[in-house]
């Protein structure tokens, strides 16, 4: 497909982990593949564009389930560290998504390739995120269920945006994407690159330059922002469950945002319109992206990705001078 007006030459897209496992099912292989196929069908117009495309996916539902499985089976199977669990979900999700994407492309008569890269992301060993776990992962529980799990397995649980209680883990800031040059090399061949999955495998670098995994899950939207800035990608898209961001959400004066300047978005953020467990991280990543040199951040739903790129829908966050 030829380039379309308004479609950027380089684009990075962040997709939630619920693109494979929305958390309200058992997460069987059949369910995961069926949901991935539906995601691929929704994203097909985006995959068919003649551009350089990087996709970063989340892994919250999946890595949380592995953590709980670790805890339940700890007396029978040696538990794995969180960095290894992130790597497991990164590889599994890249496999399922890349297969679904290529199947959708082939059915449409498109020969474009999709590849998933195992991606390590360096964090600071002294990041305050290690001392205050805030990243919700895994399924939702009632307060009583969560407290019982916490007591039995020694896990940290917190309420997540009035939707229930979840396991929470450390979430340090991404500082460096390892082997980012490989992502760029593949981009330039028009291959769709799935990288930074689950925010990347969290690692620290010691004084000798060697990397070591750490117990954490990095926010995938912040990793997408960092990758975009390194790769000189000027447009970032965050795909979520709604076509637009709203302020006063759920109230009588709720208002959807279409094109909004950076200073207004900072003000809305400071006023508390975007809860930490839902739209908060996405808005924070969009703001950081623009502050670090990005041109436009678009937040929209899976099925409106290409119309949003053209400016027909979605929330577009831009610099004040561009409003």
> Residue 1 has what pLDDT?
42
**Does the residue 293 lie in any domain?**
yes
The CATH number covering residue 255 comes to 3.40.1160.10
Asked if 248 is an active-site residue, the reply is no
**Does the residue 23 lie in any domain?**
no
**Does the residue 306 lie in any domain?**
yes
Candidates 16, 18, 277, 294; catalytic one: 18
Q: Is the dihedral of CA 279, 218, 157, 267 positive or negative?
A: negative
Across 67-88, average pLDDT: 91
Candidates 60, 64, 65, 282; catalytic one: 282
Asked if 26 is an active-site residue, the reply is no
Residue 233 has pLDDT above 90, yes or no: yes
Encode pLDDT of 210-219 as tens digits. 999 999 999 9
**Does the residue 311 lie in any domain?**
yes
Other CB atoms within a 10 A radius of the CB of residue 300 amount to 24
Q: For the chain, where are the alpha helices, taking DSSP H only?
A: 29-47, 60-72, 82-107, 143-153, 180-187, 220-230, 262-270, 280-291, 305-309
Candidates 16, 17, 116, 198; catalytic one: 17
Contacts 24+ apart (CB under 8 A), 20-28: 20/57, 20/61, 20/62, 20/93, 20/96, 20/97, 21/61, 21/62, 21/65, 22/61, 23/61, 23/139, 23/140, 27/61, 27/62, 27/65
Asked if 143 is an active-site residue, the reply is no
Encode pLDDT of 88-103 as tens digits. 999 999 999 999 999 9
Q: Are 45 and 183 in contact (CB under 8 A)?
A: no
Asked if 6 is an active-site residue, the reply is no
**Does the residue 315 lie in any domain?**
yes
Give the residue numbers spanning the domain of 264.
234-323
> Residue 2 has what pLDDT?
42
Residue 18 has pLDDT above 80, yes or no: no
> Residue 5 has what pLDDT?
53
Across 11-26, average pLDDT: 80
**Does the residue 258 lie in any domain?**
yes
**Does the residue 320 lie in any domain?**
yes
Closest CA to 51 of 112, 138, 115, 133: 112
Asked if 33 is an active-site residue, the reply is no
**Does the residue 264 lie in any domain?**
yes
Across 128-156, average pLDDT: 86
Candidates 60, 129, 138, 220; catalytic one: 220
User: What predicted TM-score, i.e. pTM, was given to this entire model?
Assistant: 0.92
Across 149-176, average pLDDT: 85
Q: Are 198 and 59 in contact (CB under 8 A)?
A: yes
Query: Average pLDDT over the chain, rounded to whole?
Result: 91
* Polymer length of the chain: 323
Tokens encoding 248: 């006063």
Candidates 16, 70, 116, 135; catalytic one: 135
Cα dihedral: 136, 138, 143, 144 (round 10) = -150
> Residue 130 has what pLDDT?
94
User: Residue 4 — pLDDT band, cuts 50, 70, 90?
Assistant: low
Encode pLDDT of 182-204 as tens digits. 999 999 999 999 999 999 999 99
High-pLDDT (> 70) share of the chain, %: 96
The tally of domains found in the chain comes to 1
């Amino acid at each position: 497909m030829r380039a379309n007006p308004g479609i950027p030459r380089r684009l990075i897209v962040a997709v939630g982990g619920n693109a494979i496992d929305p958390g309200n099912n058992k997460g069987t292989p059949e369910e995961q593949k069926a949901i991935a196929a539906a995601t691929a069908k929704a994203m097909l117009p985006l995959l068919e564009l003649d551009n350089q495309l990087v996709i970063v996916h989340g892994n919250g539902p999946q890595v949380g389930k592995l953590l709980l499985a670790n805890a339940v089976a700890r007396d029978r199977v040696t538990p794995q560290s969180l960095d290894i669990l992130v790597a497991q979900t990164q590889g599994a999700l890249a496999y399922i998504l890349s297969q679904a994407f290529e199947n959708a492309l082939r059915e449409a008569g498109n020969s474009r390739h999709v590849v998933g890269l195992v991606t390590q992301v360096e964090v600071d060993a002294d990041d305050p995120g290690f001392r205050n776990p805030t990243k919700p992962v895994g399924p939702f529980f009632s307060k009583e269920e969560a407290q019982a799990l916490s007591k039995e397995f020694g896990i940290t649980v917190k309420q997540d945006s009035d939707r229930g209680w979840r396991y929470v883990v450390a979430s340090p800031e991404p500082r460096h994407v390892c082997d980012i040059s490989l992502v760029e090399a593949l981009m330039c061949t028009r291959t769709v690159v799935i990288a930074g999955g689950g925010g990347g495998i969290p690692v620290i670098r010691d004084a000798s330059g060697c990397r070591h995994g750490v117990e954490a899950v990095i926010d995938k939207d912040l990793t997408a922002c960092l990758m975009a800035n390194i790769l000189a990608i000027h447009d970032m898209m965050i795909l979520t469950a709604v076509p637009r961001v709203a302020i006063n959400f759920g109230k009588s004066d709720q208002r959807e945002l279409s094109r909004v300047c950076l200073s207004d978005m900072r003000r809305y953020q400071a006023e508390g319109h975007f809860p930490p467990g839902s739209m908060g991280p996405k808005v924070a990543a969009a703001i950081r992206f623009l502050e670090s040199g990005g041109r436009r951040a678009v937040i929209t739903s899976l099925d409106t990705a290409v119309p949003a790129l053209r400016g027909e829908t979605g929330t577009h966050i831009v610099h004040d001078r561009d409003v």
